[in-house]
Structure 1
């Protein structure tokens, strides 16, 4: 019986999808800062130089991940109710951000000129224009909404697992701070409900946006 032929293991077939998957693997394990051509190549078991046939360096890796995550963002169908539609879009962003918390900064802050990057922007602008905002006003309001959304989601995904829970120690410390306003609100400062905070913040921002549009009509 002929023994199997031995030799160097076959290099796995590379594709943009496999490279994105490996990059996400690195991000999930060690964060965005760990991403590089070498770290992704190690995850794939290939030479780093071979990646350049599919992506243009580290920025290309990060753009590819952001595009894939944004491409998976399910944008809700418009209902014609601006408040409901903006809430639904914000919820879609949150779902995408929480799917890969370590990659959330890419989803939320990476500026992309691709269809994946512009589709969510177009969705928000369409709602704002439909609500009566001027083109210039819609852009200002879009940026305000995105800044608010990015801020609250980055806080959520970057917080420690125990953030928001309290065994009474934090509340006691706040009450004993000697600061009147802090002591009065200690019970609420000591607790943090991530979902409730997100809804409150988004609703407040949307209310401000729609009020501004109504004032400018």
Structure 2
């Protein structure tokens, strides 16, 4: 070696582990959502996501704060995919469109739906559906207090309905033919007069019909509380 040649004595960094170079918050959320779609929320962990990405679990922490942060990020991804409808100024039309857009976005990744429906989120993505609902209430002439109360009550009812829909075995209604027959027989033999009377209906569960009924019921309630000074 020539005396005038400089020698680089700084430590050389090796290549990052396979997969680490392409890690980002977005790719981690993609992998987490795929795992949930395939195996359910219970299968999700930092290790399972790392395996999916062929990475060291420790590398994930450079992009997400931990499993709770990752679950929030997945929920926010799904909420961000919901396309808010353009408001028409007709309260019934607008509330119906908002409700069905929320359902479509929630059920687009059915296994992940509970994340949207149960986690407390504060991001702008999570507030977008709320903003659209409040805007519809404002256009309809509701006070700010009434708009917030009605929005919260409506959202709570929709969340409850959707949680029931994504539940594999709803408490009071199912879709499997054999299970329906057994459930109806059990209800008919319950000796509870009101339950016996509606046993055939109570044993069945039509998710689309249930959601439509709930939405119209909620909209009727909202419109009934509309300020009397406002006319269509």
TM over 0.5, shorter chain: yes
* 35-44 vs 83-92, greater mean Cα deviation: 35-44
Aligned counterparts of 2:229 and 2:188: Cα–Cα separation in 1:
44
Q: Which secondary structure state, in structure 2, belongs to the residue aligned with residue 53 of structure 1?
A: coil
**Count of residues in correspondence between the two structures:** 211
Change (3 A) 1:8 1:49: closer
Q: Is the contact between residue 19 and residue 53 of structure 2 (CA under 8 Å) also seen in structure 1?
A: no
2:192 aligned to which of 159, 179, 192:
179
Q: Is the contact between residue 165 and residue 192 of structure 1 (CA under 8 Å) also seen in structure 2?
A: no
Aligned counterparts of 2:42 and 2:222: Cα–Cα separation in 1:
35
Q: Which secondary structure state, in structure 2, belongs to the residue aligned with residue 209 of structure 1?
A: helix
Change (3 A) 1:111 1:215: farther
Q: Where do residues 96-111 of structure 1 align in structure 2 (5 Å cutoff)?
A: 96-111=105-120
Q: Is the contact between residue 165 and residue 190 of structure 1 (CA under 8 Å) also seen in structure 2?
A: no
Q: Where do residues 20-169 of structure 1 align in structure 2 (5 Å cutoff)?
A: 20-160=29-169, 163-167=174-178, 168-169=181-182
* 34-43 vs 128-137, greater mean Cα deviation: 34-43
Aligned counterparts of 1:209 and 1:77: Cα–Cα separation in 2:
19
Q: Which secondary structure state, in structure 2, belongs to the residue aligned with residue 181 of structure 1?
A: helix
Change (3 A) 1:99 1:151: same
Aligned counterparts of 1:180 and 1:166: Cα–Cα separation in 2:
24
Aligned counterparts of 1:33 and 1:130: Cα–Cα separation in 2:
42
Q: Which has the higher helix share?
A: 1
* TM-score (ref. length: structure 2): 0.82
Aligned counterparts of 2:138 and 2:117: Cα–Cα separation in 1:
22
Aligned counterparts of 2:61 and 2:164: Cα–Cα separation in 1:
34
* TM-score (ref. length: structure 1): 0.88
Q: CA RMSD in A?
A: 2.3
Q: CA deviation at 1:8?
A: 9.6
Gaps in structure 1 of 5+ consecutive residues: 1-6
